[in-house]
Structure 1
Amino acid sequence: MLDLAAEPRDVRALRTLEGDIGGAVDAALERGGGLLRLAPCWVPRSFLHPGRRLKLDPRDLYAFGLSRGGIDERWFGSTTEAANEGRVHDEGLSYVVDGAHRFTLRDAVAARGETLIGPSLWQTYGRWPVYSKFFDNMGPIPLHMHQDAYHASLVGQEGKPEGYYFPPQHNAVDNAFPHTFFGLVPGTTKADVRAALARWEEGDNGILDLSAAYRLRPGSGWLVGPGILHAPGSLCTYEPQWGSDVFGMYQNLCEGRAVPRDLLVKDVAPARADDLDHLVEQLDWESNVDPNFKRNHYLEPVLVSDTRAAGYADRWVVYGRVKGRQWFTARELTVDPGCRCTITEPGATSLIVVQGRGAVNNLPVRSPAMIGFHELTEDEVFVSHTAARAGVTYENLSATEPLVILRYFGPEEDPDAPDIGGTLQ
């Protein structure tokens, strides 16, 4: 077991390494048994209302400044910058912590790509192409969508599918509106959507009248492709997704708060910003008006294998394909008190501990009760591809409480994952 008693507890005490950090990455992997400790990565949104379930100290909810908005997101294993106006230079980027030093996970992957994310992902993407987050709001957020690859490429970006899972540990309370609007009611026409967008400055544009809400339940999830309209509800959501921060808000008024039109066309070429037909064409129309939307997008946990007799259970919580492609998957591992298991992972993974305490390859992990904005934690780890394929040992060091860990994987890394339609186990 590593002795971390002398380790810094505050990110401000760390020295940031840049440039040629290959040696520093090697040393960190050696000390961590193939794992990298990550510091919390907080992201604010100026147009949203924090739900207060991220375990962030309430005094730090506006640590970026009142004008930047409250912190309602924590990003995991991220090499993707947050596309926020007025952002700090490294907003959205995860940092590796090793002793008194830190460096971005993005720089680490650039220096040791095949070791960290595996030859396939490195050769195909040249980066860690996915990330995940906790997304936590007091109420609903505006109906919006994320552009597909084609429409995002028009502004030099990448499209984004995303998955949802509602971890029970972060949803003891439902907050104001535990329902999410998805898609468009069958029979809706493109002219209906166009007319709603044309009413942007005339009060509520009424686009929610064209959609349908589904009640959210902790322990379940959804898979949502690009171009699908959705207005997430007030459960705290674990969201594995593609490494992009593109979006367009199609609702102009949410809970009495105006949504700036700039957020509708944030990722649209300026020459097309007033082209309502172009804005409608960004939508995946067939998926939006699908009469079997829930059947084709709703997720229940599915056991990876029946291991409960061995003292642990590993379940897929986000899975399935979008347009025939597996963009990411996510699993929830529960280890019973006093038990341990060794799992050969599909590939590199970023993990977050949501309950309990234990060790991963002898690296101590625990879920904190409260986190200061600058504080370091022991709940977030990046598992290198090399360590993942060699087998990762998870041990619960509590005699009374389960150890629960969420982890996500990159594209086409989890070939045994089920299609949508799995059943609760």
Structure 2
Amino acid sequence: MNDSQKKQLIAQALEIGAGVVRLAPTWVPRTFGIPGGRLRLHPDDLYPLGLERGGISERWLSSTAQPDNGPLTGPEEGLSAIPVGGSTVTLRDAMALMGEEFLDPPAFEQHGGWVMFSKLFDLMYPVPHHIHQDDTEASKVGQRGKPEAYYFPPQYNGHYGTAPHTFFGLLPGTTNEELIDCLKRWDTGKVGDNGILRLSRAFRLEVGTGWYVPPMTLHAPGTLCTYEPQRASDVLSMWQSLVSDFLIVDRGLIWKNVPKDHWHDYEYAVNLLNRDTNFDPDFKQHFFRPPKPVKSLEEMEAEGYRENWITYGTPFFSAKELTVYPGHTVTIKDAAAYGTICVQGRGRFGKYAMSSPSLIRFGQMTDDEYFVTHHAAGEGITITNESDCEPLVLLKHFNPGNPGVPA
């Protein structure tokens, strides 16, 4: 399909939805963990690409980025797709060819397009302790830095998994020598565990709340299913050799997205860390994110809805949770374009039906994910909850520069 044909499809999709486009589910396999089974993907479809590719533990939302999954990565893996007229066009192509139809032109110019995405992330066991590089370090390997945020939606957490706590940063007094020792004895010792978590501290996770994780900050995410707004990047460096006493981490992942001339340079590795965030004695005070109402609760309740900021306090992205009460219709305006996923309920979202699926087959279309252009967001989307008993709940993710985000 050439660019002219793609533009015709994109224009058709924008016209059909009056500035709102539907997105197909985007499933991403990973080899470094076992799927937690809470993404509503059919149990028979958790390994649809074969064991060599790993299990589906992530659903990427409003994505114009691709995962760094090695040489077997598919040509459009990780990219959100807009279905229209029996064909599809990727959101990445839509932004590249008609970006100013999707994003406010000054914002498009300032940020270079849609530079974030979100994901639903679900593993049975914790993620190894690791960092994501900042822009300076990531640029050395031709990538962007990766700050990220977490929110734990109750609708996707009927159980909390095997370890509902996340390790962040390092204990006060931890030395470079101790860190280098952990990295060097990757697969030796009594149990093959390099012991990095003994130098960190864990926080119990709470559904309906979240965290912000700056780049260069060590973290080992726990096993709540997570909604994760983040920079459009997939850079990392793994620092933990063994997870849950059985999941072995490839030593080469220490050097993933580290410049090749610094591979096996342990001093370089430990100096990647942001000392301020990793040793912050008030880490929770600075980076825990309880929900914050977007305006007066009384005013919103009277109109039949509630909306909270759930990701804030970062210049890179933001997110909201919108709840429309049973039987109500509301028109919600936003100052910027956004992607959205419905996590509970059914109703209407602008011109489209909207519902949160209970079970999805790999490759099946759903009615739960959409992208709203800046013009449509500013005009307002009329949303109807068609249930007389169940709330309609949406999560909304925004590019940098969304006005009104709390500090």
Question: Normalising to structure 1: TM-score of the pair?
Answer: 0.92
Note the aligned Cα RMSD (angstroms). Answer: 1.0
Q: Which amino acid aligns with 1:50?
A: P
1:38 counterpart = 2:28: no
1:199 counterpart = 2:185: yes
| Match of residue 236 from structure 1 | 225
Instruction: Provide the rounded CA distance (Å) in 2 between the counterparts of 1:294 and 1:139.
Output: 23
Moved over 3 A (4+): none
Note the residue ranges of structure 2 that are not aligned, 5 or more in a row: none
Shift of 1:126: 2.8
Match of 1:226 among 195, 215, 222: 215
| Match of residue 264 from structure 2 | 274
| Match of residue 161 from structure 1 | 147
SS of equivalent residue, structure 2 residue 3: coil
1:19 counterpart = 2:3: yes
| Match of residue 181 from structure 1 | 167
| 1:54–1:170 contact (8 Å) kept in structure 2 | yes
| Match of residue 150 from structure 1 | 136
Instruction: Provide the rounded CA distance (Å) in 2 between the counterparts of 1:117 and 1:391.
Output: 15
Q: Which amino acid aligns with 1:271?
A: D
**Aligned pairs for 1:259-270 within 5 A:** 259-270=249-260
1:378 counterpart = 2:367: yes
Instruction: Provide the rounded CA distance (Å) in 2 between the counterparts of 1:125 and 1:24.
Output: 25
Shift of 1:199: 1.2
| Match of residue 303 from structure 1 | 293
Aligned residues: 398
Structure 1 residues 178-232: Cα deviation after superposition (integer angstroms, max 9, x where no partner): 0000111112122221221111132211110000111001001000100000000
| Match of residue 128 from structure 1 | 114
| Match of residue 417 from structure 1 | 405
Instruction: Provide the rounded CA distance (Å) in 2 between the counterparts of 1:117 and 1:283.
Output: 34
Q: Which amino acid aligns with 1:94?
A: S
| Match of residue 6 from structure 1 | none
| Match of residue 51 from structure 2 | 66
**Aligned pairs for 1:258-407 within 5 A:** 258-306=248-296, 307-321=300-314, 326-407=315-396
Instruction: Provide the rounded CA distance (Å) in 2 between the counterparts of 1:319 and 1:123.
Output: 23
| Match of residue 100 from structure 2 | 114
Question: Normalising to structure 2: TM-score of the pair?
Answer: 0.96
| 1:223–1:298 contact (8 Å) kept in structure 2 | yes
| Match of residue 42 from structure 2 | 57
Shift of 1:87: 1.1
Structure 1 residues 339-396: Cα deviation after superposition (integer angstroms, max 9, x where no partner): 1111211211000000001111121110011000010000000001111112121111
Identity %: 47
| 1:121–1:128 contact (8 Å) kept in structure 2 | no
Shift of 1:18: 4.7
Which deviates more from structure 2 when the two are superposed, residues 231-240 or residues 94-103?
94-103
Structure 1 residues 296-353: Cα deviation after superposition (integer angstroms, max 9, x where no partner): 10011110012012110010011112xxxx1111000000111111121121100000
Instruction: Provide the rounded CA distance (Å) in 2 between the counterparts of 1:319 and 1:295.
Output: 14
1:172 counterpart = 2:154: no
Q: 1:417 to 1:198 in 2, by over 3 A?
A: same
Instruction: Provide the rounded CA distance (Å) in 1 between the counterparts of 2:89 and 2:252.
Output: 33
Instruction: Provide the rounded CA distance (Å) in 1 between the counterparts of 2:58 and 2:301.
Output: 33
Q: Which amino acid aligns with 2:57?
A: D
Instruction: Provide the rounded CA distance (Å) in 2 between the counterparts of 1:260 and 1:399.
Output: 51
Instruction: Provide the rounded CA distance (Å) in 2 between the counterparts of 1:200 and 1:29.
Output: 52
Instruction: Provide the rounded CA distance (Å) in 1 between the counterparts of 2:280 and 2:173.
Output: 10
1:103 counterpart = 2:95: no
**Aligned pairs for 1:207-226 within 5 A:** 207-226=196-215
Q: Which amino acid aligns with 1:417?
A: V
Instruction: Provide the rounded CA distance (Å) in 2 between the counterparts of 1:346 and 1:189.
Output: 46
SS of equivalent residue, structure 1 residue 195: helix
Which deviates more from structure 2 when the two are superposed, residues 139-148 or residues 189-198?
189-198
Match of 2:127 among 133, 136, 141: 141
SS of equivalent residue, structure 1 residue 180: strand
| 1:178–1:215 contact (8 Å) kept in structure 2 | yes
Which deviates more from structure 2 when the two are superposed, residues 253-262 or residues 49-58?
253-262
